[in-house]
Structure 1
Amino acid sequence: MDPFQQMQDWKNNLDQFFGGDFWNDFEHIIKPPIPAINLYELENEIIIYVNLPGIKESKHVKIYLDENILELKGELYPFEQRGKQLNQEILQGEFSRKIELPCAVRKDKVSAVLKHGVMKIQLFKISNRKKNMKQVDFEIEE
């Protein structure tokens, strides 16, 4: 049985016992987010490194971008398993992860390169973003 499914069953039982979504604050401990990332902010860009072991074809990972959300979907493929499994720390299987970016980025200028199981995603900040402000007229009462 999938160890994460066992943890999910425990979580559901505790949610029923304590009421509501008791474990939401502990979700990252129960099941760490996959894929693992490193996120860096530079003056004019955002760089994200994504751990994607075993990915050999671009069709296995989908990247979606909104102004300040990057979403990754795909599947990490298991390697050949022999014998009785005693421990599992290498995550595998389907994933979907949304990454909140520290600022709005351009959708028209993005690059992503996968090399040696690590994807580098380069995003460029929106500069001099025009604010959609409206001047409000007011009256002076005496």
Structure 2
Amino acid sequence: MDPFQQMNEWKSNMDQFFGEKFWDQFEGIIKPNIPQVNIYQTDHEILCIVNVPGLEDLDKIDIYVDYATLELRGVIDIGHGGGIVVKEEILQGAFERTISLPFPVRSDKIKATYRHGLVFIQLHKLISESSRKNRVNVRLLEDE
């Protein structure tokens, strides 16, 4: 049984009592977010750094950008099996995450690279109001 299944059912019942927005402040505590994401903003750009260790096939991660939303889907698999787990802090498994961006971004000017377990996604501020969801291709950034 999924250990989070009972918690999700409990959360659903509490949503009816407190309202859905109540849980936003507890999201990372109840079930940690994977993958971990850092977002940096300047006046006209956003840099998202996504922690995805062990990614050997770049087609195994899906990145979508739609207006002011970043969607991430994939699997984190560090590739170790066997033995008894004594401590496990590197979260693994399938993930699907939607992140609100601080401002709308252009769909025609997106760059994503992967290096040393991190995906770097560069986004540029949208000036017009047109929107279209686009899949972002990730390329391997070779060591220099």
Query: For this structure pair, what is the TM-score category when the shorter chain's length is used for normalisation?
Result: 0.7 to 0.9
**1:41 match:** 41
Q: Aligned partner of 1:24: which letter?
A: W
Give the CA deviation at 1:21. Answer: 6.8
Q: Is 1:80 equivalent to 2:73 in the alignment?
A: no
Q: Aligned partner of 1:81: which letter?
A: G
Indicate how the Cα distance of structure 1 residues 21 and 45 shifts in structure 2: closer, same or farther if over 3 A, else same: farther
Give the CA deviation at 1:130. Answer: 6.5
Q: In the alignment, is the contact (CA less than 8 A) between 1:64 and 1:70 conserved in 2?
A: yes
SS in structure 1 opposite 2:79? Answer: coil
CA–CA distance in structure 1, aligned partners of residues 15 and 119 of structure 2: 40
Q: Aligned partner of 2:49: which letter?
A: Y
**2:98 match:** 98
Indicate how the Cα distance of structure 1 residues 19 and 40 shifts in structure 2: closer, same or farther if over 3 A, else same: closer
Worse overlay, 7-16 or 95-104: 7-16
Give the CA deviation at 1:19. Answer: 6.4
Residues 1-142 of structure 1: pairs in structure 2 closer than 5 A: 5-13=2-10, 15-16=12-13, 18=14, 20=16, 24-25=23-24, 26-127=26-127, 129=128
Worse overlay, 105-114 or 81-90: 81-90
TM-score, normalization by structure 1: 0.77
CA–CA distance in structure 2, aligned partners of residues 35 and 113 of structure 1: 16
Greater CA radius of gyration, 1 or 2? 1
CA–CA distance in structure 1, aligned partners of residues 126 and 101 of structure 2: 12
Worse overlay, 76-85 or 19-28: 19-28
Q: In the alignment, is the contact (CA less than 8 A) between 2:113 and 2:119 conserved in 1?
A: yes
Q: Could you tell me the percent identity over the aligned residues? A: 39
Q: In the alignment, is the contact (CA less than 8 A) between 2:53 and 2:78 conserved in 1?
A: no
TM-score, normalization by structure 2: 0.76
Which structure 1 residue ranges, 5 or more long, are not aligned?
Answer: 132-142
